[in-house]
Amino acid sequence: MTLSTRLRRPALVAIIASAVILLSACSGTGGLAVAPTARASASIPLADLDLLDDPRAYEGESTAVLAATSVVPVTKNPEVTLPATITSHDLAGDTEVTVTSNERILGLDLAGSIAATIFGLGFGDNVVGRDVSTTFPDAVDLPLVTTGGHSINSEAVLALRPTVVITDGTVGPTDVVLQLREAGIPVVFVDTDPTLDGVSELTHQVAAALGAAEAGDLLAERTQSEITDTIAQIAAIAPTDKADKLRIAFLYLRGSAGIYYLFGEGSGADVLVDALGGVDVAKEIDWTGMKPMTDEALVAANPDLILVMTDGLESAGGVDGLLEAKPAIGLTKAGEHRRFVDMADGEILSFGPRTPGVLDALARAIYAPDAK
């Protein structure tokens, strides 16, 4: 990842954090219906599901649900070599950081990927707190150290006496994170892209920060194998002719804050769409990064299906509220068919040990929404 890419991250953090603040203030929306459908168990191979004859013709919403929400560690007793001096990829440059203990760990990022990786490496018992996106069952009861969305509460962090903090610059403010280092806590910035290849890189960097290179190799190998297998299964059920492939867009919604973003190349959404056997409509219109949606862009893209975060869709008033607020969406095939697939905010863009499960769940919601 280039420095310019990393420097764009705080802007996205500010956008999402402010949106989440407003969303949390009106979280009692009365449980606006998204009409989720039952998901078949992941024990049933994708090819054996009741697949749609024509995914582009299906009408109605569906919800992608992880079959297994827990993170399974690759080993229960990872071998550790400490102290470890590693290169921290800070937002303004690289810094050498020495970690002497991994007894009290904090992993903080926008998607909960770092914490999931720490658990996957076998250090779950050493994690002392969590960010708002770390919601899997093994970690959900840990003290929360982010407030108002994705803003770090430095006092809450210091109270937990972490011996190492691992982050990627997607939570902040950055000066608060660096203040933790000034307080004597080793703070390691990892530097990875939201891509499938970036999953292995994230794993190796987190493992290096914890002095557990061998566990990192094992987890990276396992996750990559599972990703490859899942993508192969999806390819076997997805249309092969480009004319028949689903045209997919990813919208980031915070209706209560008036935020409607179309995610494009480099956001991670493009990676999901490709892995799911779809056509990334944002790429077709040269949409890069995460930018406010325009009516013209979305109508020109004309997706068959729109991916959204569950809480985001609820904040917009569900599908009905979204179509009312943004009539242009109703002019697309996705809007006409109410073809929205939602998934939990802390899961859908999580690039880490849960990625194979995320892809599998999305594929089931897209290609077999009525499977029991």
Same domain for 237 and 205: no
Same domain for 210 and 263: no
Q: How far apart are CA 280 and CA 137, in angstroms?
A: 32
Same domain for 241 and 161: no
pLDDT tens for each residue of 29-48: 333 343 444 345 567 899 99
Same domain for 161 and 46: no
pLDDT at residue number 175: 84
pLDDT at residue number 34: 39
Q: Residue 144: which domain range?
A: 84-224
From residue 242, alpha-carbon distances to 239, 245, 257, 281 in Å are: 7, 5, 36, 12
Q: How far apart are CA 153 and CA 335, in angstroms?
A: 40
pLDDT tens for each residue of 248-275: 999 999 887 888 999 988 888 999 999 9
Q: How far is CA 264 from the centre of its chain?
A: 14
| Domain-located, residue 78 | no
Same domain for 89 and 46: no
| Domain-located, residue 148 | yes
pLDDT at residue number 230: 96
Same domain for 195 and 88: yes
Q: How far apart are CA 312 and CA 249, in angstroms?
A: 15
CATH code of residue 209: 3.40.50.1980
Last residue of a domain, one of 171, 199, 224: 224
Show the low-confidence residues of the chain (pLDDT under 50). Answer: 1-39
Task: Kindly give the pairing relationship between strand 305-309 and strand 247-254.
Answer: parallel
Same domain for 185 and 92: yes
